[in-house]
């Protein structure tokens, strides 16, 4: 079980929050599955082709965080498994708490 304290969440300018994600495309079941070196590990069904995995990643994170998909953006790592996600509209403590709660639930 991951704790919210293990997730590196950084508040940046203009009320945005960034956190690291490690994508695992090609999984049978999508969802969050842990924390690795401070990054949230997310399984994705979509293959890493034509941005399909990135779209699914943002959709999964939007559902977990309870925000609209338009409130999330990939700040870094469009073609990498290691990504930086930026979220608007939530404080860092809330982002960390929601990610931690999602990770503590069985998948």
Domain enclosing residue 13, as ranges: 4-104
Domain of residue 100, CATH code: 3.30.1200.10
Helix axes 52-65, 92-104, angle to 10 degrees: 100
| pLDDT tens for each residue of 44-76 | 999 888 889 999 999 999 999 999 999 999 999
User: Which pLDDT value is given to residue 21?
Assistant: 96
Mean pLDDT of the chain, nearest integer: 89
Domain count for the chain, please give it.
Answer: 1
């Amino acid at each position: 079980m991951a704790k919210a304290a293990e997730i590196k969440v950084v508040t940046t300018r203009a009320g945005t929050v960034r956190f690291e994600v490690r994508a695992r495309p090609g999984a049978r079941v999508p969802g969050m599955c842990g924390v690795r070196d401070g990054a949230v590990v997310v399984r994705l069904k979509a293959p890493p082709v034509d941005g399909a995995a990135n779209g699914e990643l943002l959709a999964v994170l939007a559902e977990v965080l309870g925000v609209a998909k338009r409130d999330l953006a990939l700040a870094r790592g469009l073609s990498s498994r290691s990504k930086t996600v930026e979220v608007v509209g939530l404080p860092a403590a809330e982002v960390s708490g929601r990610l931690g709660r999602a990770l503590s639930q069985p998948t």
